[in-house]
Amino acid sequence: MELKLYVDRISQPSRAILIFCKANGIEFEEVKIDLAKKQHHFPEFAEVNPMKQVPAIVHGDFKLFESHAILIYLASAFPGVAHHWYPADVQKRAKIHSVLDWHHSNLRRGSVGYIFNTAVALALGLPANPQAAAEGEELMSASLAKLDSFWLEGDAPFLLGNSKPSIADLALVCEIMQLEFADEEDRERILGPHKRILKWIKDTKNATAPYFDEIHSIMVPIREKLKELKVQASEK
């Protein structure tokens, strides 16, 4: 049964799904939905995902959107996926759901607000909202602090005291990687103090090598492109 991933590698949750599939040997066709070219607004894509967002998948004739739902589905539907990604144990699973739920209104919300209003908006010719950027940064910093003090436990390399990564590690680390679009000094200010988080990012990269770096290889070129577009937009 054919699996198609409708993704844009600029999108954090898109990357999480791509890496997950590659790391688990799940075959798929990658269908690029170019957000900068507004392809997510095309009527054909609305047939795949009426919410007009990436990522979305089609597996046979089964359509699904929302990245956490997709990660859980892939972990459940493909028998080759190692147990640690989405354990069968009801309590371990519940903790993964808990951090994925927390993510929506915390790390993700903060990150999106910050990155959009500092790195992306002006590049796309859209107004940037400095207040929203500041609120985004505040929420993101509070979220990173919570990751440091609560979600990452003891000496365990992964979230929730786990010795091996789960879908939650991939989802949240891909979000933090979006900071690659920020200026180096901003990235250093926000992320620099969190040594434990930096180690966790490295551990997650290593656990999904070489795919993590492969899928994230576009980050620096995109950052440079965004900078270029920002300059062009301000010259107009």
Partner 1 sequence: MELKLYVDRLSQPSRAVLIFCKANEIEFEEVSIKLGKLQHRSPEYAEINPMKQVPAIVHGDFKLSESHAILIYLASAFPGVADHWYPADVHKRAKIHSVLDWHHSNLRRGSLGYHFNTGIALAFGLPLDPKAAAEGEKLLSASLATIESLWLEGDGPFLLGNSQPSIADIALVCEIMQLEVADEKDRDRILAGHKRVLKWIEDTKNATAPYFDEFHSLMPFAKEKLKELKAQASKQ
Q: Which residues bind partner 1 (CB under 8 A)?
A: 50-51, 62, 64-70, 72-73, 76-77, 90-91, 93-95, 97-98, 100-102, 104-105, 109, 146, 149-150
Contact 131, 163 (CB under 8 A): no
Between CA 229 and CA 236 the distance in angstroms is: 11
Query: Of 100, 131, 137, nearest to 115 (Cα)?
Result: 137
Between CA 47 and CA 76 the distance in angstroms is: 25
Closer by beta carbon to partner 1, 166 or else 212: 166
Closer by beta carbon to partner 1, 93 or else 187: 93
Closer by beta carbon to partner 1, 105 or else 217: 105
Q: Min. distance of Cβ 139 from partner 1 in angstroms?
A: 13
**Tokens representing 66?**
């929302």
Q: Min. distance of Cβ 224 from partner 1 in angstroms?
A: 30
Between CA 21 and CA 24 the distance in angstroms is: 5
Sign of the dihedral through C-alpha 180, 181, 182, 184:
positive
Closer by beta carbon to partner 1, 102 or else 158: 102
